[in-house]
């Protein structure tokens, strides 16, 4: 299945059910994916081997590019609901992520004060104080938790030398509810393993983990674009609705089925 990369630093805006009219920011290189995960379902493709953390967007160019685009949209009369850090991998890998968040807050407050700032992150670096403190300043920390089982995470997300899952959950709890948990549900075959994080065992453990983290809300979704692995199947809307219903009935935490 075909995948794609974001070829611009500032892209969009695009319409999203979860984020409204969203203007995207890619802090990673425009020509390759750089990430701490190698998820088998990632729309940006496989993560390259090695740790080549070069070619990130320059902090000052990010500020200039974002300001220019926000003013263009303002002149066009196009509202921006959300300024979203996403792109070709893990945005918190940027060495100046915390400073870029400060720049973005200042621009938002000056040009479009009603817009939210969101970060889509796999949560692998939230143990770093600069990352944690920066994320605490934004309106929407959307942090990944695809399973409560380490074995599933190892095969589904393929993290590279990251914090053990139990420690990650403790770091997520440290946000004290000021976060959104994002989970992608999928079924796949990979390297001889059958992966299904919609099974009763998986969902029960996931609900327990989400309840312990106590986020403001949960976003659940499945694949909608190309994936690097062909043996990946989307989960039906009825199944997602059932998982969302179970989460709410058992914990009172709302779940949004997202695009």
Mean pLDDT of 37-49: 88
103-135 pLDDT, tens digit per residue, is 999 999 999 999 999 999 999 999 999 999 999
| pLDDT score for 239 | 96
pLDDT at 51: 61
| Residue 235 CB partners (closer than 8 Å, separation 6+) | 185, 186, 187, 198, 222
Number of other residues whose CB lies within 10 A of the CB of residue 173: 15
Closest by Cα among 146, 169, 160, 142 to 232:
146
Query: Is the previous residue joined to 101 through a cis bond, with omega within 30 degrees of 0?
Result: no
Percent of the chain residues past pLDDT 90, beyond the cut: 78
pLDDT band with cut points at 50, 70 and 90 for residue 48: confident
Q: How far is CA 109 from CA 67, 75, 80, 92, 102, in A?
A: 12, 17, 13, 22, 11
How far is the C-alpha of 232 from the C-alpha of 185, rounded, in Å? Answer: 11
Place of tokens 């009172």: 252
Task: Label each residue of 150-175 as H, E or C.
Answer: HHHHHHHCCCCCCCCHHHHHHHHHCC
CA angle 258, 235, 13 (to 5 degrees): 30
Q: HSE of 105 in the Cβ direction (CA atoms, 13 Å)? A: 14
Fold observed for domain 10-257: TIM Barrel (3.20.20)
Average pLDDT of 31-59? 85
Mean pLDDT of 220-244: 90
**H or E element in which residue 24 lies:** strand 20-26
| Residue 2 in this model has a pLDDT that exceeds 60 | no
Q: What is the pLDDT of residues 126-171, one digit of tens each?
A: 999 999 999 999 999 999 999 999 999 999 999 987 779 999 999 9
Give residue for tokens 């938790």.
Answer: 145
For the segment 192-201, what is each residue's pLDDT rounded down to a tens digit? 889 999 999 9
Question: Which stretches does DSSP call E strand in 29-158?
Answer: 82-86, 116-121, 140-144
**Any idea where the domains of the chain sit in the sequence?**
10-257
Q: Among 49-53, 94-98, 114-118, which is the least confidently predicted range?
A: 49-53
């Amino acid at each position: 299945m075909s995948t794609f990369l974001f070829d611009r630093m500032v892209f969009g805006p695009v319409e999203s059910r979860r984020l409204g009219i969203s203007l995207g920011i890619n802090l990673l290189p425009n020509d390759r994916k750089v990430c701490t995960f190698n998820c088998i379902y990632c729309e940006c493709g496989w993560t390259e081997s090695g740790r080549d953390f070069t070619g990130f967007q320059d902090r000052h160019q990010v500020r200039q590019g974002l300001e220019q685009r926000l003013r263009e949209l303002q002149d066009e009369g196009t509202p921006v609901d959300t300024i979203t850090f996403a792109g070709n991998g893990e945005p918190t890998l940027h060495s100046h992520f915390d400073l870029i968040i400060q720049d973005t807050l200042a621009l938002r407050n000056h040009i479009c004060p009603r817009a939210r700032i969101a970060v889509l992150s796999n949560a692998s670096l939230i143990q770093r104080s600069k990352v944690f403190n920066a994320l605490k300043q934004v309106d929407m920390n959307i942090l990944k938790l695809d399973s409560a089982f380490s074995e599933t995470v190892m095969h589904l997300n393929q993290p590279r030398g990251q914090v053990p899952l139990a420690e990650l959950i403790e770091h997520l709890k440290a946000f004290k509810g000021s976060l959104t948990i994002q989970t992608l549900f999928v079924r796949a075959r990979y390297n001889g393993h059958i992966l299904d994080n919609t099974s009763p065992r998986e969902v029960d453990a996931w609900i327990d983990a989400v309840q312990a983290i106590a986020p403001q809300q949960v976003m659940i979704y499945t694949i909608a674009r190309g994936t690097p692995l062909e043996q990946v199947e989307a989960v039906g809307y009825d199944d997602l609705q059932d998982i969302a219903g179970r989460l709410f009935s058992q914990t009172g935490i709302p779940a949004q089925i997202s695009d």
